[in-house]
Each structure stands twice: as C-alpha cells, then as structure tokens.
Amino acid sequence: MGIEPQPNLWQCGPFALKHALIVLGIFAEQRTITRIAASRSTYGTNEVQLRRAANHFDCSMPMIRRHDPETARKELLVFLRRGIPTLLCVDEWNHWVTAVKAEDGRFILLDSREKAVLTIMRWSVLRKRWIHSEQDKYDRSHWESMYDLHPVIPKFRIDTKARFSLARAQYLRRPENRVLSQFWDHYLVDLMTIARPRTSLSIRVLSMGEFFRRHERLILSQVDYWHGAIERRGAMKILKNLHFVADTYGLVIPNEDEKRAIAGITAILTLWAASKFGSHPVYE
C-alpha cells in the first residue's frame, strides 16, 4: 500500500522502512518487510532486523551514531540533501520514523503513528525526541547522549526519487488527501507506464502540468461521453492526484508519446469511473 498509518503499536519499524523505500520508488508491502525482518509484537523491530529487510530490497542501511546534537543534525542533512531517506529511532528508542527532507529549519518526517503520516517538525522538537540517554555502567553519575541515524541507501541507480517539500507535505496532511496518500504507490505505478523521470538529457518533453493544460478538457469530455455521466469534480480530483504524484517524482512525457499518454490517462480515468459509478453492459 502507500503512505499510511500503522495498524498497531509494534509495526512502526516495517512501516518506516516501507515509507523510505516508497521515497526511492521501491514498493514493498509492510507484511513482506515484517516477515523478512522477523518482527514480533512483543519486541517490535530493531535495526539489525530492518537492515536485513533493507538488504532484501537491494539497499544498505548502516547505523551511524553521534553524541553531539549539532553533529547529528549536520550528518542527517547530508543524507537528506542527497535524497536519501533516513530512519531515526525516537522517543528513547521506542518508535521508528523516516526523515525525508529538511527545509527552512524544519524536518519532514513520515511517522506511521500519526493519522496524516507526513509530519513537519522543527529541529528543537526533533532533537528532544531523537536523543537517547544511557547511564554509564562504570560511572553512574554520567549519562551518555546518543543520536543514531540509519540512511536507506540503494545499491543501484534510482531514477524516481520523491522530492517532498513543506508545501507538498502540508498538502498531503489535509484530511481530504488521505486517500491519495493511501494509494500513493498505485498512482505512481500507473504513471510509470505513461511517463518517465526527467534527466539532464531530457529534451522535447512535456511536464504533467502542461500535458493537462492541453488535454484535460478532452480527456474529461471523452470519458463523460463513453460512460454516460461522471462526477466531474471527482474525475478532476483523480487527474489532480496524478499531476501531484508525477511532479513529486519529476515525471515528464516525451513529445513523441503525447498521444499515447492521452490514451493511457483516458483509460485510467475510465476504469476509475466504472469502479466508482458502475457500468452498464457494453455492446449487449
């Protein structure tokens, strides 16, 4: 499934890894991650188990420990600027979250314990939740502070990394966009059959915004004609969701595939309309 909250108290680890993989354009069911990691309801999932699951999806997940909060913050920023999602164990090592972006002094996290999942947090708040303190077994008066980070690093070239921002996170946090988050991977899989990631070599391509500016009215009218009647507002919301996901991953349509993309988006919208409103027998 997509970006969604965990159903219980102990699966935060598999959900955090699943969300990190989604950012990298890799789709994995939390049930599969839970099975590979051998998570248990009594103990949850530790970093060794999550590392094993990450390796299954051809990603490394090293553990980096820092004792100074500013050093830890800078280390985390290095990975986030490279587009590498990073797992953090917070709340005294009782809960896993995924850091995906830093912007304007705030951090965007995927926290499966939150209904909206996407969470925006200032550094002062994250620092307090991230720190883990342990008493020195030789000097009981001394407490050691630890900030562990676990970047999820693909071992192969990734072309479809998600580019979250504060504006995108705030948009997805709205209650009316929860369904988009839930079916995030479905939208992306469908789009990948129509569009491709923009690269430095991409020329003669259409952004999804320009594509819909040219063809949205045609697509809506055609589906409305074929289906008999559709709810225009709902149909436009589906197209808006496709546009949002495409822009998040930097997907574009080559000019030579423009007609093919019209047919593909029309087919997707027609299937949505049939599943939403039902369909009369065809040619019978």
pLDDT at 235: 93
pLDDT at 284: 74
pLDDT at 139: 63
Please give the Cα distance from 260 to 256 (Å, whole number).
8
Q: pLDDT tens per residue, the chain (284 residues)?
A: 689 999 888 899 999 999 999 999 999 988 999 999 998 877 889 999 999 999 999 999 999 999 999 999 999 999 999 999 999 999 999 999 999 999 999 999 999 999 999 999 999 999 999 999 987 666 666 678 999 999 999 999 887 889 999 999 999 999 999 999 999 999 999 999 999 998 777 789 999 999 999 999 999 998 888 777 788 899 999 999 999 999 999 999 999 999 999 999 999 999 999 888 887 777 77
Q: Which amino acid is at 204?
A: R
Burial 21-43 (b: 16+ CB within 10 A, else e): bbbbbbbbebeebbebbebeeee
pLDDT at 160: 84
Distance (Å) of CA 29 to CA 50, 102, 173, 264, 284: 14, 27, 22, 26, 40
As a three-state string, the secondary structure of the chain is: CCCCCCCCCCCHHHHHHHHHHHHCCCCCCHHHHHHHHCCECCCECCHHHHHHHHHHCCEECCCEEECCHHHHHHHHHHHHHCCCCEEEEECCCCEEEEEEEEECCEEEEECCCCCCCEEEEEHHHHHHHHCEEEECCCCCCCEEEEEEEEECEECCCCCCCCCCCHHHHHHHHCHHHHHHHHCHHHHHHHHHCCCEECCCCCCCEEEHHHHHHHHHHHHHHHHHHHHCCCCHHHHHHHHHHHHHHHHHCCEEEEHHHHHHHHHHHHHHHHHHHHHHHCCCCCCC
8 A C-beta contact, residue 13 and residue 37: yes
8 A C-beta contact, residue 170 and residue 120: yes
Domains in the chain, please, with CATH?
12-168 (3.90.70.10), 183-277 (no CATH)
pLDDT at 137: 66
Q: Which two tokens stand for residue 250?
A: 């930097």
248 φ/ψ angles, rounded to the nearest 5 degrees = -60, -35
In this predicted model, what pLDDT tens digit does every residue of 190-221 receive, in sequence order?
999 999 998 777 789 999 999 999 999 999 99
In this predicted model, what pLDDT tens digit does every residue of 21-65 receive, in sequence order?
999 999 998 899 999 999 887 788 999 999 999 999 999 999 999
